[in-house]
A and B are shown apart, each in its own frame.
Chain A
Amino acid sequence: GVLAHLERLEAQARESALKQEEKEQQEQKLAGLKARVQELRARRDELRAKLERQQKGILEKEGVETDAEQPSARAVLEWKIRSMKDLLQLFYLTGISGKLTKRGVCFCISTAYEGTYLHSYYLDVLTKPEVQIQRHSVPTFIPLEQIARKHLQTDIRRFLAVLSDHLNAYAGRRYQADQLQERFSDRLEGTLQRNSLCNLLVFHYNISGHSRSFLFSAKLLYSDLCCSLPTEAIVSCTPNAPGELAEMAAAHSETFRRLALHKAFDSFSKAEVTQD
């Protein structure tokens, strides 16, 4: 009786001690978090005020607020270093840039479709004992060896220009095919078939008119590897389709040869709207 009772009391005491400890830990943690929030809020408010003063100062042409009256020599140099890094980064926007390496140059060819920059490709070129490509990230279906054989030893700038033309045309073709799949998936019937070089595309698409929908099939061939428009566009419709459709197919073929793929489809959509 008594022993059991004592044991129970002991157990209760331990339990309440543990609970008390737990409660204190939680309170401490909470206090810590609260303090951190206060600290961060203060820092954030300080930065906001600093930014406001800075913007006001610039507007009033009083100059930028600095800690000292005159910028230190170090600050000036750090400004120049950052300014040069910013400018060097812009070179990739021009299409051909590079970095000097111990044994040569690592060139970077950037690609873009209109205003959108796409993938960049790298070539590690050694200049001694003779100009050679040590490493590169150019895909295998681009005729790199052929272009190198023709130009690399005689005119490296020309080599890079020709390679850039190939890569940009490939990137442009790929971009157009991707755009077609992304933006006009409701028009495509089945999958768009393409090869790795994206210079052969086969797809089926539907056009609606006069409250009916017609299926066309297209085969686009880009035999000029430096061009992102097809040299041949074969468009056909189902064999027993009405006559006007043959005219439409011919018109589409011409459109595909003249406009980028996704822009061609934009024009089809517009034509449909005006028709109905």
Chain B
Amino acid sequence: MSDFIEELTRPMPEDDGVEMSVLSGTGMYFPWLRKEAETAVTGGKKEKDFAQTTNACLGFIQEALLKHQWEQAAEYMHSYLQTLEDSDTSKRQAAPEIIWKLGSEILYYHPKSNVETFSTFADRMKNIGVMNYLKVSLQHALYLLHHGMLEDANRNLSQAETWRYGEKSSSQEILINLIQAYKGLLQYYTWSKKKMELSKLDVDDYAYSTATKNMVEHSWKTSIHFNSLIQIPGVWDPFVKSYVEMLEFYGDHDGAREILTNYAYDEKFPSNPNAHIYLYNFLKREKAPEEKLISVLKILYQIVPSHKLMLEFHRLLRKSEKEEHHKLGLEVLFAVLDFARCNKNITAWKYLGKYLRQTLMGNHLAWVQEEWNSRKNWWPSFHFSYFWAKSDWKEYEALACEKALVAGLLLGKGCRYFRYVSKQGHQGLKKKIKQMKKSVKKYNIVNSVL
């Protein structure tokens, strides 16, 4: 659009004798059209100064927030509040949300503001229009939680829970569920405190039974609150975790298992590695069969190959009897070490060294080659460079040795890492180095490739 305007307003080229500017050889020239075109952008009306100044005000507020100038932001906010009375209906309806977001930021950080001012502000903003009640209540409750005022937060949430306006729309539905879930979380918190107290009490103590009864009550309330939210697809880690803990405590393992399986496997839910981790830990506690554990961790492997549980996964695979699991075990180890996170993890390297030897002893050179093919271009400089050799040796000799074994097996005894470490370790770790050299000589894949 703006190019079009540029075209029209560019000064015309030299013209011999023709002074008329309306029509010329190269193009039409309508200076008055520019004005019309400008107003077309704003929908036929020239922007009023009210809109212009409030926009500028908004810009100043945002700038002040960015620079943490809270007083200045408050000053501009004072003027920005007039957008609540904007004669433009659409702007007027959008104003409360903007004001809430900016205002709550300011009041959160401003040195002169306290919980009381925030609460007054929240209460006022809740009641402007009807769309904002739930959202503001929820955020207000979170603010109170942040300041450790649990009862007030609870009260707030209870009030919000019972709020209804017209037909329940889907966005309202989810907010109400969220509010209930947070309430549930607060209940859980009280329950868990009571649990701790209980563990200090003696079973025969008089208070024990009352405490237990109390706890049951809380847990029942909590489960109601969590139930509806967990049905909706989403990421609800803290809620799920607390709920499962309570269910396990009361022996409802089936319920717990159902929830966790749902949470991890239901396709409607977004992919969430934590879901699988929770499920895995639960199954481990239940002492589920290894096949099951392996299947759970397989999915986690696909989502987060660098997770620290992968080493545990590898152990499970190693123990298994199936050959495909053994192959996968090798894959998993390589995948873990693809990431810089596990660079200095001595267990990972130890496993890899041992397992490589084992695999090569078992005549599965093809597996190793398959894994190594995609990595041989970049692993040498990623893990086995001379720089790493020096720094690893300086920092942690045992790690360097493990790495050296792997390096030797994969790159042959000529590789720099291996040579450096064997040279360095010649005096101190004679025996180990000797063993290493033997393995490398016997099993390295370079010779086999050639």
Partners in one complex: no
| Residues of chain A having any CB pair with chain B under 8 Å | none
